[in-house]
Structure 1
């Protein structure tokens, strides 16, 4: 099933969809929302635009039939930043037969050439959650952009291409930070005026993240630093390695190589997931294991120090006290009052 709608601005896109789907528009401040009619599917489409020709559309839909939304207008089409946070959507250009799948956690930057339009394709009975930043470059370039200083040259040309002289397509896996922004937009914590200014702030934050990500993707694997969903899996793999044998003292470089990433991304991943560096995480795991052994086993402190891969008992005592506020000896004696006679006579 094909739907033909206007391509700009966002409000006219929503109005066109409302007419094509024969469903009313709800308004919350400056945000326009339509619910899919029961015969079409489930879900909603909502969006709004701001000054300087930038806007956002959110599709949270499950169509009952294959649906193609054609964006048509006899003008230059917007520059689009499209993100898929659930399911998938396909994107095509009217000017050629190329169709690209945008899967969960993937994103694209697309610009058609001339007055050629775009097509979004949704498969029947597949839930898709998609966000599209829409930028009317002729308007956007009237704001103070400072000649896009320090931006990647490809993106400079793309943003300054008011007449869409060149077709452009880029695809990547968007960063964890970008995923957090998408989630906050979808959550709809605010309504009315607060929702509007919140959305505008998040749209610009998302745009900044996307530009940073594009630049990051131009780097080789050793220099890229932005964290993607696939990188989170690698952090989880590193955690498994660390916990598998606490007697080992893995370097950050070794762990990065073992899980197939670079040191920067591994550190960023541990910071994101645990708010700790890799080494601090390893230290914390070893200390928690030591505390458990002190509580539940009959091993003395020297034995426990060896089991967690530390050779220096004094250092162990120092970091244990920093974390738990008491020395290992005090902790052991507190848990087991008779442990002073357990043969572990060293002072801590």
Structure 2
């Protein structure tokens, strides 16, 4: 195993220590450090940027050719870290503890070490990894008592304000779809370095805000959580397919949610994010798509079309069809027969 000791705390200087240990060179553009892994070391890159108010971010998007352990060992209070594994897996431990925390794809952890103890993260050989580490210098990131009411109900407020690191903290879970979208935007952002810096500063605050909201949600019992996690996205897509296949049956939203193993709140949030609509509106859109196909391509009468779409009221069907196509179902059929 290759062990690398990082004696710097600001995230941008971390890249310099890594480059020296790996005998590689790094690039610096508009305060973003970029270390490309080459040769016997591995492939991919590690990027880091200090943002504002004590916030910084490191992105590991790489694959090492050997087991690697990075030890953050500076004799100072270490930052509060928000770790997000968007691909692969890695493990974390506090430098004064033997217990390892294994984090898989879609998992995240909030970690704060005690006193001057640091953090150790380890990567396995040939493991493709994408890890984001949002880091907060709690001394620089000061909290205004007048605007922290949303943190009062949890211990995050005490952790944020613990500038002397009087106690350690570890919280593990699955990150939200809202956080996942920020990571996707970071990875896909293609523009000049000046605009990227502005974008990254904005992204850092977005990550912190969404993380606080999610942590509050994590404190609820599973059945009372309303924020959709990234690993649950497949269930939302499964719900969409379930609706399309079972359109003739008048399922309630609660029935659909139970079918895919989600709460109603999470199902609605998923449809809002993935399909930009509510579950009911999605059902109506699928019904209208099917109805338009049946009207164009079959000889079914209007009542039969209504039945096939899972509706029982012909008048309601005519209303939503007219709202969508600005004509009645009969007029729609006549128009397409004339075109044919």
Q: Residues 80-159 of structure 1: matches in 2 within 5 Å? A: 80-141=81-142, 144=144, 146=146, 148-151=148-151, 152-159=153-160
SS of equivalent to 1:2: strand
Partner in structure 1 of residue 247 of structure 2: 246
Tell me how many residue pairs correspond in the alignment: 336
- How many angstroms apart in 2 are the aligned matches of 1:17 and 1:139? 24
Runs (4+) off by over 6 Å: none
Partner in structure 2 of residue 291 of structure 1: 292
SS of equivalent to 1:116: coil
Contact 2:61 2:131 in 1 (8 A): yes
Cα deviation for residue 44 of structure 1 reads 1.1
- How many angstroms apart in 2 are the aligned matches of 1:259 and 1:46? 38
Cα deviation for residue 161 of structure 1 reads 0.9
Relative to structure 1, the CA distance from residue 147 to residue 74 in structure 2 (aligned partners, 3 Å threshold; closer, same or farther) is: farther
CA-to-aligned-CA distance 1:247-294 (integer Å, 9 cap, x gap) = 111111221122221111111111111111111111111111111111
Partner in structure 2 of residue 160 of structure 1: 161
SS of equivalent to 1:91: strand
Flag the structure with larger Rg.
Answer: 1
Cα deviation for residue 336 of structure 1 reads 3.3
Contact 2:106 2:231 in 1 (8 A): no
Relative to structure 1, the CA distance from residue 36 to residue 7 in structure 2 (aligned partners, 3 Å threshold; closer, same or farther) is: same
Q: Supply the RMSD in Å over aligned alpha carbons.
A: 1.6
My pick for the range that moved more, 224-233 or 275-284, is 224-233
Relative to structure 1, the CA distance from residue 286 to residue 51 in structure 2 (aligned partners, 3 Å threshold; closer, same or farther) is: closer
Q: Residues 1-348 of structure 1: matches in 2 within 5 Å? A: 1-141=2-142, 144=144, 146=146, 148-151=148-151, 152-336=153-337
Relative to structure 1, the CA distance from residue 201 to residue 253 in structure 2 (aligned partners, 3 Å threshold; closer, same or farther) is: same
Cα deviation for residue 47 of structure 1 reads 0.6
CA-to-aligned-CA distance 1:159-192 (integer Å, 9 cap, x gap) = 1111111111111111111111112222242332
- How many angstroms apart in 2 are the aligned matches of 1:145 and 1:46? 33
CA-to-aligned-CA distance 1:69-113 (integer Å, 9 cap, x gap) = 000011111110011111112111111111112211211100111
Structure 1: gaps (5+ residues): 338-348
SS of equivalent to 1:150: helix
Cα deviation for residue 153 of structure 1 reads 2.8
Relative to structure 1, the CA distance from residue 304 to residue 4 in structure 2 (aligned partners, 3 Å threshold; closer, same or farther) is: same
- How many angstroms apart in 1 are the aligned matches of 2:297 and 2:108? 50
Cα deviation for residue 7 of structure 1 reads 4.3
TM-score, normalised to structure 2's length? Answer: 0.94
SS of equivalent to 2:53: helix
Cα deviation for residue 246 of structure 1 reads 1.8
TM-score, normalised to structure 1's length? Answer: 0.92
SS of equivalent to 1:138: coil
SS of equivalent to 1:120: strand
SS of equivalent to 1:139: coil
CA-to-aligned-CA distance 1:305-328 (integer Å, 9 cap, x gap) = 122221211111111111112111
SS of equivalent to 1:261: coil
- How many angstroms apart in 1 are the aligned matches of 2:52 and 2:248? 59
